[in-house]
Structure 1
Amino acid sequence: MNATAARGEGSGVLEGAVVAVAGAAGAAGRATLLRLAEGGATVVACDAHPERLAEAVDAARYAHGGATVTGETVDLLDPAAARAWADRTEAEFGRIDGLVHLVGGWRGGSGLGESSLADWDFLEKLLIRTVQSTSLAFQDVLQRSDRGRYVLVSASGASRPTAGNAAYAASKAAAEAWTLALGDAFRKAGGDAGPTAAAAILVVKALVHDAMRAERPNAKFAGFTDVGELAEAIAGVWDTPAGEVNGKRLWLTPQP
């Protein structure tokens, strides 16, 4: 299945859903908050940068009057803090129908010999530990939902690492493996009837947004995915039956 099938416009399935977004303060997070709110979801956002998060939450509320969009600072490196966030969200809204994982970071170099293991230490925390914390915290509540989705955004470099991005590619590959394991847990929980929840991976080469284009007006950003397109694909994961997206990589860029 390719990503085109996972995209949707006016995703009615999102109406009334409660969706948590981790790493919501960046450009991709802002676009995602807007799209989920537009679809009628209650959006519960978190990030490590409170000021940027507040701006993103306010923007989504302003764009969609009446939308419930909240934000709080959560240390996703702390499994207990992630679980407390999930518990608070379920207690307040009665359900959780999705977790969108947008926590990102990048370190790279010119070659493998110049790589620093400090880069691995940095990326392991951001790209792997946060996936572990959120998946463990949200697994049960997503399984209780009739439309539970765990959505990871990954990079094509995980499937085709280069000498200069070894730490990044390895971190992304590990995050993908953990997410696919979550998908297997959902599959087993569904039994013969099939999974009611799904863990899916959206794969991009890299992301681009308007500020990047303004800073580099002559750049082509070939193969990059606009954050608005990513947000549309994220919303579309709810349009497709769980069994069709669970444990799948959905490519928004040509597959290497």
Structure 2
Amino acid sequence: MNGNGNGTLNGAVIAVAGAAGAAGRATLLRLAEAGATVVAADADAAKLAEAVDAARYAHGGATVTGDTVDLLDLEAAKAWADRTEKEFGRIDGLVHLVGGWRGSSSFMETDLDDWTFLDQLLIRTVQHTSLAFHDGLLRSPIGRYLLISAAGASKPTAGNAAYAAAKSAAEAWTLALGDAFRKAGGEEGPTAAAVILIVKALVHDAMRAERPNAKFAGFTDVKELAEAIAGVWERPAPEVNGKRLWLTEQP
């Protein structure tokens, strides 16, 4: 198995949380193409099955599995991590693609129910997946935890208070995980890495088809995101651990 330096993930086992959306589909395809065994999870069983089937079909012989996991349940997240490592003998990555947005037209129109929703979706799921996969990623020689975040976390706007705050909290949690990996590595440096990939927003082919005249300035195509995700394993853990990697202009 080689996960460092030549772009291949042959033999690696990578879990993808929130795999049923457009970014998840692109990520499953790219990781399967790179030779990884991909273990996908999502709350939407039907869309997840479609995404898994698409990755299997595109890359005949690739091992891509799907599982409906309630990531708001810590024990369910731990069971998913344990089951994955037991079945495949290792776990080399967790890609956290769980997302969602709520906002308002002004700061004073912010609905605090949006915060409750985003706290669960954007923060609690990160807490649970990081705690669930921490030990397994440390056991791997190339363990990686990847969070996809938004540029808005670094430059909140009036109508995005809840969203930006939730994303910022998820980033802080991930950086704390990175510090845990650093400490575990001791003088030799970490073997596992917690990495944040930051986009302004994502775009995919269906969005372009629906809005052919839109420019989507600064947006990151989901295929580009998937390429960047796979590329994290090509870089040494000490180089990327605890880092924010910008895929859009930094504010």
Shorter-chain TM-score tier: over 0.9
1:186-236 CA-partner distances (Å, limit 9, x unpaired)? 000000000000000000000000000011111000000000000000000
SS of the residue corresponding to residue 145 of structure 2 reads strand
Paired position in structure 2 for 1:111: 106
1:160 aligns with 2:155: yes
Cα distance between partner residues in 2 of 1:230 and 1:129:
23
Q: How far did residue 15 of structure 1 move?
A: 1.0
Alignment size in residue pairs:
248
Paired position in structure 2 for 1:42: 37
1:130 to 114, 125, 129: 125
Cα distance between partner residues in 1 of 2:20 and 2:10:
23
1:93 aligns with 2:88: yes
Cα distance between partner residues in 1 of 2:5 and 2:229:
11
1:198 to 178, 193, 215: 193
The normalised TM-score by structure 2 is 0.98
Structure 1 residues not aligned, in runs of 5+: 1-7
Paired position in structure 2 for 1:31: 26
Paired residue type of 2:7 = S
Q: Is the 8 A contact 2:6 2:234 kept in 1?
A: no
1:55 aligns with 2:50: yes
Q: How does 1:139-154 map to 2 (within 5 A)?
A: 139-154=134-149
Structure 2 residues not aligned, in runs of 5+: none
Q: How far did residue 10 of structure 1 move?
A: 6.9
Structure 1 residue ranges (4+ consecutive) displaced by more than 3 angstroms after TM superposition: none
Cα distance between partner residues in 2 of 1:66 and 1:54:
17
Q: Is the 8 A contact 1:9 1:232 kept in 2?
A: no
Relative contact order, higher structure (CA 8 A, sep 6+) = 1
Paired position in structure 1 for 2:10: 15
Q: How far did residue 9 of structure 1 move?
A: 10
SS of the residue corresponding to residue 239 of structure 1 reads coil
Aligned sequence identity (%): 80
